[in-house]
A and B are shown apart, each in its own frame.
Chain A
Amino acid sequence: MTVRGLGRVLAVRPPRRGGGSRVGRSYAVTLLTPVRPGAAGDLAAHVRGLGVGEHSPLAKLPYVHFGRWVVIDQLKTDWAGAPSPPPRLKSEYLLFTASLTAPDEPGAAPGTSYADRLPESFLHELRARIGADADAIWGHCAGYPGAADPERFVAYLAASRLDTSLFHVGYPGVTVDEVRHALAARDALVAFARDHQGEQDAARLQQAYLEESPTWFPSR
């Protein structure tokens, strides 16, 4: 980018609302919490034993595209060019991240929609939908108040938040449901095309399409 181009970008484009964590209705949630001394092993074993795919606790959160838990025992510094002395953490940490897209709520008053209230709306939902899983996981962390008290739960995780500097969203403004529906419609069309590849009778082809295609779309 030229200096002139840089100047144009800085002059014309206002900073995105919500800083770098927010792109439209998409939000990058990043939580870093200290693990209680001696609990990291149990925590890692518990997290690794969570159900996979539709059995993951994260599958109960409808707006989450991708999520992860990572237990960080220490910074890695065993490589050429590492600073000296090497940076060390005094505690072990649990990293949680989620990439989510809030639903479009055109009728909502300003400041009241799920998207407008992020990240607190997500933290409240996390407590409501997977509170027991949250207790079993963040219960290994220092200062965790438990999911029984909504305000303290949300305050704890909100205080654990790291602000994103830059967030890349591959397909902005699209919720998980919309992605799934689009994939299902594409798959259905592909299956239809395969099944009727040799159909020479135009009336039968049309009839089959009219019978099958309405099921490819969610009702609006």
Chain B
Amino acid sequence: MSSSGDGREAAGAEASAPETRELGTPRGTGQIPEAVLDAAPGFPSPEPNTHGRARAMTVFSPVKRPWGRPPGGQWWLRLVFGVGRRLPDGKSTIRALSFIHFARWIVIRRIPDHGQPRERLGHPLLMFESNYNGTFDQYIDAFATILTRGMSLIWGTSYGFPGPQPVTPFKSYIRANEFVADHYYSAYPTATTTMVKSALALREPLRAFTVQAATLSPEQFRERYRAFLTEHQEDL
């Protein structure tokens, strides 16, 4: 899981924008017509696992025993995730996937006990959850292409993992292990990850420019306003 780069600039991680892209239009590809989403932020998506442009993924896979092939099982995962937690943010390959809002991995060794029949997990479970934008196919394609090594490091110890390439068996594997969310919520469903990052990047420069605007002559203002739009056009 080692790479670098700002996710907003990762080539190939998200459908790239044509140069003629209109201001304010997202570079991600939502499944629902943009006009519908923009007009109705709470629009109930016509398919499960989605809320607006946000999409949920929830996958469980059983982890092999430590003496399986490849060896290590949950102990290997503990090492991989331990290293992942210590990586500086810029060194995490997942940052290159510019359409993931939040994601988590959990190794489940024990099911919480509330008096139900005791569960004895013969195999620990690896849970993966993601909140992303775009389609399932785009997501898995990008994951398999950009995170190839990281995917093998993490899912290599799971039963049946076919490897990230070729991608079709990998998609089938994820589909077969995926659970559909019965209720899914996004606090800003019309926004893609790229839109959020762009808006956050614009926040302080815009505030600074607005403070400065009142001190300028009209001609100075027009010049700097145009320069500001040009300088920040990638975030608009």
Provided the pairs A176-B188, A190-B23, A205-B222 are in contact, do residues A70 and B182 lie with their beta carbons within 8 angstroms? yes
Taking CB atoms and an 8 Å cut-off, the chain A residues in 84-130 that contact chain B are 87, 89-91, 93, 95, 97, 99
1/0 per residue, CB under 8 A from B, across A178-208: the answer is: 1111110111011101100000001101100
Contact stretch, chosen from B9-17, B28-36, B85-93, B138-146: B85-93
Chain A, residue nearest B154 (CB): A166
Taking CB atoms and an 8 Å cut-off, the chain A residues in 31-75 that contact chain B are 32-34, 44, 47-48, 50, 52-56, 58-59, 64-72, 75
A13, A44, A187, A189, most chain B CB atoms within 10 A:
A189
| A residues in contact with B94, CB < 8 Å | 168
The answer to whether B116 has its CB under 8 Å from any CB of chain A is yes
| A residues in contact with B83, CB < 8 Å | 1, 6, 9-10
**A8–B112 CA distance with the chains assembled, in angstroms:** 36
Chain B, residue nearest A175 (CB): B187
Distance (Å) between the CB of A204 and the closest chain B CB? 8
The answer to whether B84 and A79 touch across the interface, beta carbons within 8 angstroms, is no
Provided the pairs A53-B41, A183-B195 are in contact, do residues A48 and B183 lie with their beta carbons within 8 angstroms? yes
| A residues in contact with B197, CB < 8 Å | 170-171
Grouping DSSP codes into helix (H, G, I), strand (E, B) and loop, the A interface class, with mixed when no group exceeds half, is mixed
| A residues in contact with B101, CB < 8 Å | 65-66, 99, 170-171
The answer to whether B182 and A48 touch across the interface, beta carbons within 8 angstroms, is yes
The answer to whether A179 and B187 touch across the interface, beta carbons within 8 angstroms, is yes
Size class of the contact patch on chain B: 35 or more
**A14–B86 CA distance with the chains assembled, in angstroms:** 7
Provided the pairs A10-B86, A90-B117 are in contact, do residues A209 and B181 lie with their beta carbons within 8 angstroms? no
Provided the pairs A182-B200, A193-B236 are in contact, do residues A90 and B102 lie with their beta carbons within 8 angstroms? no
For the complex, count residues of A whose C-beta is within 8 A of B: 99
| B residues in contact with A54, CB < 8 Å | 41-42
The answer to whether B156 has its CB under 8 Å from any CB of chain A is no
Taking CB atoms and an 8 Å cut-off, the chain A residues in 4-28 that contact chain B are 5-6, 9-10, 13-16, 19-20, 26, 28
Can you show 13 pairs from A to B with CB atoms below 8 A apart?
A52-B44, A56-B183, A72-B179, A166-B85, A168-B103, A182-B202, A189-B236, A202-B221, A205-B221, A206-B222, A206-B225, A216-B206, A216-B210
Question: What 5 A-B pairs are tightest by C-beta distance, nearest first?
Answer: A53-B42, A81-B160, A143-B114, A190-B24, A202-B218
Binding site for A on B (CB under 8 A): 1-2, 7, 23-24, 41-44, 51-52, 54, 56, 58, 60, 62, 64, 77-78, 81-89, 92, 94, 100-108, 111-112, 114-119, 121-123, 125, 127, 129, 131, 159-162, 172-173, 176-189, 191, 193, 195-200, 202-203, 206-207, 210, 213-214, 216, 218-219, 221-222, 225, 229, 235-236
Binding site for B on A (CB under 8 A): 1, 5-6, 9-10, 13-16, 19-20, 26, 28, 30, 32-34, 44, 47-48, 50, 52-56, 58-59, 64-72, 75-83, 87, 89-91, 93, 95, 97, 99, 141-144, 156, 159-172, 174, 176, 178-183, 185-187, 189-191, 193-194, 202-203, 205-206, 209-210, 213-214, 216-217
